[in-house]
Amino acid sequence: MQDIPFLSVPDMLRQNAARFQGKLALKYRKQGKFVTLSYAEFYERALMAARGLKKCNVKPGERVAILSENRAGWVIADMGILTVGGVTVPIYPTNTPEQIEYVLNHSEARIVFVSSKFQYSKLLRIRETIPKVELVVSFERFLGEPELPVCTFYQLSEIDLPVTESEKKQLEAGIDCIGPTDLLTLIYTSGTTGVPKGVPLTHRNILFDAFYTSRKAVVLRECEVHLSFLPLSHVLERTIGYYMMIMNGSMMAFADSIEKVPENMMEVKPTVMVSVPRLFEKIYSRIFENVHQMSVVKRKLFHWAIEVGKKYVEARYIEKRTSPLLAFKYNVADRLVFGKLRERFGGNMRLFCSGGAPLDKTINEFFWIIGLPILEGYGLTETSPAVSFNNFDQVRFGSVGTALEHTEIKTAEDGELLIRGPQIMTGYYKEPAATGESLQDGWFKTGDIGYIENGFVYITDRKKELIITAGGKNIAPQPLENELKLDKYISSAFVYGDRKPYLTALLVPNMERLLEFAREKHIDYYDMDDLVIHEPVTRLMEQRLAEINSHLPQYESIKKFVLLPRDFSIDGGELTPTLKLRRKVIYEKYKDKIEGMYVENGN
């Protein structure tokens, strides 16, 4: 690992602040307009934050929490914490007060950065149960309560007082004392089940992952513009969308919100983005919604272009050969169709990175066809996160790519993927039993089931989420759910059937398509709850499901379904902050509906 030129993350920022001092590092909205900070200014602001934290007596190894949405203050606070040798504890801004209470008490953080009064109010509600918290630092100005002191980030940083040479020298001496094996962060897994576990990651873990991911990607340049919207609390955005961007001298631009991403893409004109599959599913669905509204001639042109693109991508990236005629046809398709699609992403987008959950093969291939390649990878919080991904030289749709350098991946007898490499955590925080279960003989047990073929890793499902039917069949629900979501009338799906005689599903319809269908059929309904139980709607969904089932083995077919009037959500508790299904929560919430689909069979 001697290739990595940095000893710690603050050392990386210090070096690159000198190397790229005039280049833009951060872009964010302030009072309605986008403003920027150069690398030199970013470093200066990080030193100011570190100065304030030192005055608050933050010691090396001490945990400091950040409860905030993505914004410039998040990364400046993070760099300030790390500069004094502290350990950043990110907390999802969507977390409930009870979830926040657990993380703060378990990590023993006494200082918490918050984005707003809304996040501060969550802390007030649990004030009596978080006795170790002494100070709240807010990125926005508001009046706090006496029982929970709050100051602004500007006050902590003493923003009007430049860092003196003696202060800088003292702070940089502290940076020199931070070693690769020192703790950088304590990330609490959002978890699809159970109580979150604290994952400690060192500077070496993160720097290794960012460096070798960048090296494997090959194509990343210093002039990249990254639009950040996936939560920085999540290790994927943290390592790949933040630290790796700083490592390469790229610029991070912060989206106003997940909802504003399409609008922000047109404003910021990013070149790269990190996301989870749900965004790509929604974009794919939206594009085909628009195609559905086109004239017959334009629809035919679109589908011709997709067929040409499919052959071209297969020939160029998989078979490594292409003919002049095919290249000519693709250029025509690109000029007439794909180029116009790319304009909706700002016009400069070069590639996406996807992780966090399996991306449907059809959707991935579609993005490559239209000239917006998705480099799909695989990893977990415990692996910093990346352990493998596809790049332009090695890609197989449906796989999560090949391993990073110095990283070993193998399968256990039951198909569970095991990983060994420098990016693996040392063990769960205060959880020796869980550590012993997950780390054995240097190998990390991922809990994911998969296989390796010609070096490419394929994930089939989570070990604990496999459905074992009453007939003894092992069925992975995620591929089935992805198959269902490809239907134009289905937005979300949850497949169930553990220890049952057949599979059932909770389906969330594509509301736009459903409302269009209701207009066409002159269906009279009161609200969405009423619409989804109307006979023409259930009959339509039965027909769609029959078509999907016709392509599946008998034991994987969906025998019954219930339509839900609203989508799964983070606020509703059905999704993790990274938009993965919380299967146990969904089952408990809709238990009556699910079990009702088995009543006739006496189960």
Give the residue numbers spanning the domain of 27. Answer: 9-178+218-271
Top-confidence residue, 538 or 474: 538
User: Strand runs (DSSP E) across 366-514, as ranges?
Assistant: 374-379, 386-389, 402-403, 408-411, 416-420, 439-440, 443-453, 456-462, 467-468, 474-475, 490-496, 503-509
Q: Report yes or no on 444 lying in a domain.
A: yes
Q: Are residues 233 and 295 in the same domain?
A: no
> What is the model's pLDDT at position 44?
98
Phi/psi at 340 (nearest 5 deg)? -70, -35
**CA dist 321 → 312, 390, 391, 599 (Å):** 9, 18, 17, 56
Q: Report yes or no on 195 lying in a domain.
A: no
Q: Are residues 222 and 78 in the same domain?
A: yes
Give the residue-averaged pLDDT of 288-302.
92
Top-confidence residue, 427 or 1: 427
Residue 71: is its pLDDT beyond 70? yes
Report how far apart the first and last C-alpha atoms of the chain are (Å, whole number): 56
Q: Report yes or no on 196 lying in a domain.
A: no
Give the residue-averaged pLDDT of 31-50.
97
Give the residue-averaged pLDDT of 20-48.
96
Q: Report yes or no on 4 lying in a domain.
A: no
Q: Are residues 332 and 418 in the same domain?
A: yes
Q: Are residues 375 and 476 in the same domain?
A: no
Give every CB contact of residue 250 below 8 A, 6+ residues apart in sequence: 220, 221, 222, 223, 224, 225, 226, 272
Query: Which of 20-24, 170-174, 577-581 is predicted with the least confidence, judged by mean pLDDT?
Result: 577-581
139-154 confidence digits (pLDDT tens): 999 999 999 999 999 9
97-110 confidence digits (pLDDT tens): 999 999 999 999 99
Query: Which of 209, 236, 271 is the last residue in one of the domains?
Result: 271
374-430 confidence digits (pLDDT tens): 999 999 999 999 999 999 999 999 999 999 999 999 999 999 999 999 999 999 999
> What is the model's pLDDT at position 234?
92
> What is the model's pLDDT at position 465?
82
> What is the model's pLDDT at position 316?
96
Provide the 3-class DSSP secondary structure of residue 467.
strand
> What is the model's pLDDT at position 602?
43
Torsion of the alpha carbons at 214, 217, 221 and 227, rounded to the nearest 10: -80
Provide the 3-class DSSP secondary structure of residue 27.
strand
pTM, two decimal places: 0.88
420-430 confidence digits (pLDDT tens): 999 999 999 99
Q: Are residues 491 and 424 in the same domain?
A: no
Residue 193: is its pLDDT beyond 80? no
> What is the model's pLDDT at position 1?
58
Q: Report yes or no on 362 lying in a domain.
A: yes
Kindly indicate the confidence band of residue 340, based on its pLDDT and cuts at 50, 70 and 90.
very high
Which DSSP letter does residue 318 get? I
Q: Are residues 434 and 551 in the same domain?
A: no
> What is the model's pLDDT at position 224?
95
Q: Are residues 295 and 423 in the same domain?
A: yes
Q: Are residues 38 and 70 in the same domain?
A: yes
Contact of 247 with 3, CB cutoff 8 Å? no
The span from the CA of 599 to the CA of 504, in Å, is 12
Give the residue-averaged pLDDT of 111-128.
97
Q: Report yes or no on 188 lying in a domain.
A: no
Residue 223: is its pLDDT beyond 50? yes
Query: Which of 418, 438, 463 is the last residue in one of the domains?
Result: 463
The span from the CA of 360 to the CA of 250, in Å, is 29
Q: Are residues 225 and 372 in the same domain?
A: no
> What is the model's pLDDT at position 603?
44
Give the residue-averaged pLDDT of 499-527.
91
Query: Which of 463, 484, 519 is the last residue in one of the domains?
Result: 463
Q: Are residues 438 and 513 in the same domain?
A: no
Kindly indicate the confidence band of residue 89, based on its pLDDT and cuts at 50, 70 and 90.
very high
Q: Rounded mean pLDDT of the chain?
A: 93
The number of distinct structural domains making up the chain is 3
Give the residue-averaged pLDDT of 242-255.
97
Give the residue-averaged pLDDT of 108-126.
97
DSSP secondary structure, 326-379, as one string: HHHHHHHHIIIIIHHHHHTTTS---EEEE-SSPPPHHHHHHHHHTT--EEEEEE
> What is the model's pLDDT at position 415?
92
The full 3-state SS of 500-529, as one line of letters, equals CCCEEEEEEECHHHHHHHHHHCCCCCCCHH
**Length of the chain in terms of residues written:** 603
Give the residue-averaged pLDDT of 109-136.
97
DSSP secondary structure, 134-146, as one string: -EEEESS----BT
CATH code of the domain in which 386 resides: 3.40.50.12780
> What is the model's pLDDT at position 585?
92
444-457 confidence digits (pLDDT tens): 999 999 999 999 99
Q: Are residues 426 and 503 in the same domain?
A: no
543-602 confidence digits (pLDDT tens): 999 999 998 888 889 999 999 999 999 888 898 887 888 898 999 999 999 999 998 644
Q: Report yes or no on 239 lying in a domain.
A: yes
Provide the 3-class DSSP secondary structure of residue 165.
helix
Top-confidence residue, 175 or 2: 175
Q: Are residues 458 and 334 in the same domain?
A: yes
Q: Report yes or no on 596 lying in a domain.
A: yes
